[in-house]
Amino acid sequence: MRDLLKKAETLTEALPWIKAAWGRTVVIKYGGAAMTDPALREMIASDLVLMKLVGIDPVIVHGGGPDITSLMERLGMPVRFEKGLRVTDDAAMEVVKMVLVGKVNKEIVTAINRHGRFAVGIAGDDANLIKARPISVELGRAGEVERIETTGVTNLIEAGFIPVVATVAWGDDGGSYNVNADLVAGELAAALDASKVIFLTDVDGLYEDLADPGSLISALTLVEAEEIIEGDRISAGMIPKIAGCASALRAGVERAHILNGRVPHALLLEVYTDEGVGTMITAPAGGQATDG
């Protein structure tokens, strides 16, 4: 009986959060071990389906860095990064497309669709979803978002699907661009007027001191997060996540969250419980973001 009562209390706690989130769009950047560990991937997939069934419209944005690196190394290709962004020449771009669109995207869609007819995969060059421009000559075909065309994604949402977006973009030169998935998640959340953008990663969130596991920051403003970057107190891989948070929050998205995807049901804990998990970032006082 005690276990049953505990389950009932959990549902009761979740009810106001379910009501508050009903009909809202949440963009989730899916990455880290949660993508590569089969048990975690299955858990994330079931959590996404649950969110869809109780009224949230999740949109998944994914990269596939470890798989891209693995294939490039097997092919004897050089692997280089600058400030967390992959240096992408033409040959590397071919690998990026094969891995992101042909492998990783289909794996995520398949995992979700084990639970029913829910997920549809889409790349950034489908329906002109993501238009990119080159960041620099040094980074090659690594691009930054120039424009988001949401029609394809919104049509999928309205038809009852969970869009799963691979971040291969198109450009004016007719070629493809590799765009960091963290940056796409922020821009897409802004374009969709999402209520939240959530980044799943392999750490519990942002730390005041990287060397001190007890210095996890549960909540801070975007200004404070950017000060941590300027103080060189985070890993290079976290920089694009903060940039993604910034683009979303400045466009009016209410909350940005950085969660450890290895924590069981991290998404549900964040969305449907009083405490939540990870780090929450909000717009600074006077910004556009609002409580919600």
DSSP 184-229: HHHHHHHHTT-SEEEEEESSSSEESSTT-GGGEESEEEHHHHHHHH
Place of tokens 């009016």: 252
* Residue 132 bridge partners (DSSP): 145
The pair phi, psi for residue 22, each rounded to 5°, is -55, 130
pTM above 0.95, yes or no: no
> How remote is the C-alpha of 79 from its chain's centroid?
23
Is domain 16-282 given the CATH code 3.40.1160.10 in the classification? yes
d(CA 292, CA 50): 21
pLDDT in tens, the chain (292 residues): 666 666 677 677 778 878 888 889 999 999 888 888 889 999 999 999 999 999 999 999 999 988 999 999 999 999 998 876 889 999 999 999 999 999 999 999 999 999 999 999 999 999 999 999 999 999 999 999 999 999 999 999 999 999 999 999 999 999 999 999 999 999 999 999 999 999 998 888 888 777 777 888 888 898 888 887 777 667 767 888 888 888 899 888 989 999 998 898 999 888 887 666 889 999 865 444 333 3
Domain boundaries, the chain: 16-282
Could you tell me the two tokens for 69? 């690196």
d(CA 51, CA 53): 6
